[in-house]
Amino acid sequence: MNNFETLIKYLDQQIQRVKSNLDNIIDIISEAGLKIDGFKLQLKQTDKIKEFWQMYVKLNDWIDQGTKIIQEMFEFNIIKEQRQQIFDLSSHKSNYFEDKEKLMTEFIKSLEFLSGGQILDINYVNPPESYAAFKKEYGTQKIDLEKQFSNIIGYQRVRGDGNCFYTSFLYQYLNLLLSNSQNRKIEINKFINKVDQLELTLFLNDQSLIKMKIEIEIKKYFNQILKQLQQNPSYLLEYFSKNNKQFYVCSIIIFRNIVRQIYNQKKSQIQNFLDTDLEEELVTWQKECNSNQAIIQLLSQELDLQVNLYFFRRDGVDLEKYNQNQNLPQINLLFRPGHYQIALCQNSYQESNQKQFEKYY
């Protein structure tokens, strides 16, 4: 009996031990389960964090894109406002600029802003430079063409802003008018009358910019300065400096319209050489005409001039003479594809060039 009780007691102890171990195992499993759940939560949190940062990056991208769009809209609105302002100024609708001088100043400022002209802080026509400077600029020392350059004594740099052909031609034409001591007054008055009769047009970005009020002021100011220059022709170069934007803008607008008028009157003579109508191209601000040689032909005949065009190519230079007559006043152009400048030449009708050159050298 005692042995039996002893066995029962022993078995009971073992059962308790197994139960205790089982409870420990259950506790361990439970603890492991909690740890696993916690780890899963951490994983989920890590995924959420990753997802958050991905969304944050996307949000930054959206903010950047939005900022760019806002900036573009802002710039567009500035341009739109500037364009509207120039239209309003042209038609004198603005209530802010009753003063005519301010009207012109704001018109030019807006025109420069729209065309980017304010970026180029250089003279429209620069003082004469020597023949040595001319040879260096055009690399003529590499070309055996001394005969073609025999009458060149120097050159003048012209600002490359899309108006360089008109600037180079007009500067020399005005120089000729002002240097004609015998008939200066008569010729200048004829030119002023021609300007008065012009109907001015100007395009930029396919928009017409000239309205009646600003047209009147442009012509009035240009003619006023021309009369002043008649008394002192030596100031012409100063009026083509970067400090005289008003005269430059007025003179180029006027000369482009003179060219347009001549073209419309005489275009039947050159139609066979043209692929398209040039009228709008001729009066688009800072746009070079792609058929300038045809235009030079018309100008030389209409203005009774000989025009000498030094056409520099990669392998040499051609001297093209328009309306050739040694007894006529002469205009001399240097042309390298994309840019015109002024050649200073020595001949009977270029005494003013010689005097101007000697003033600097």
Query: 287 and 183 share a domain?
Result: yes
312 and 227 both lie in a single domain:
yes
Range(s) of the domain holding residue 42: 1-91
**Same domain for 331 and 256?**
yes
Same structural domain for residues 204 and 349?
A: yes
State the average pLDDT over residues 211-239: 92
Q: Which two tokens stand for residue 242?
A: 């970067």
In this predicted model, which residue has the larger pLDDT, 102 or 14?
Answer: 102
Residues 237 and 273 grouped into a single domain: yes
Whether residues 126 and 78 fall in one domain:
no
Q: Do residues 139 and 222 share a domain?
A: yes
Per-residue pLDDT tens digits for 29-70: 666 666 666 665 565 566 666 666 666 566 556 656 655 655
Is residue 148 over pLDDT 50?
Answer: yes
Q: Are residues 128 and 277 in the same domain?
A: yes
**Which of 62, 91, 120 is a domain's end point?**
91
Q: What is the pLDDT of residue 295?
A: 93
Higher pLDDT, 274 or 305: 305
Please report which helix (H) or strand (E) contains residue 169, including its range: helix 164-179
Write the pLDDT tens digit of every residue in 85-138. Answer: 556 555 555 444 456 777 888 888 888 877 776 666 789 999 999 999 998 898
| Count of CB atoms situated within 10 Å of the CB of 311 | 15
Specify the residue for token string 């009646």.
212
pLDDT in tens, 255-282: 999 999 999 998 888 777 777 788 989 9
Same domain, 54 and 165: no
Strand arrangement, sheet containing 330-336: 129-130, 152-156, 339-345, 330-336, 306-313, 316-322
Among the candidates 71, 91, 111, a domain finishes at: 91
Check whether residue 17 and residue 152 sit in a common domain. Answer: no
66 and 130 in a single domain? The answer is no
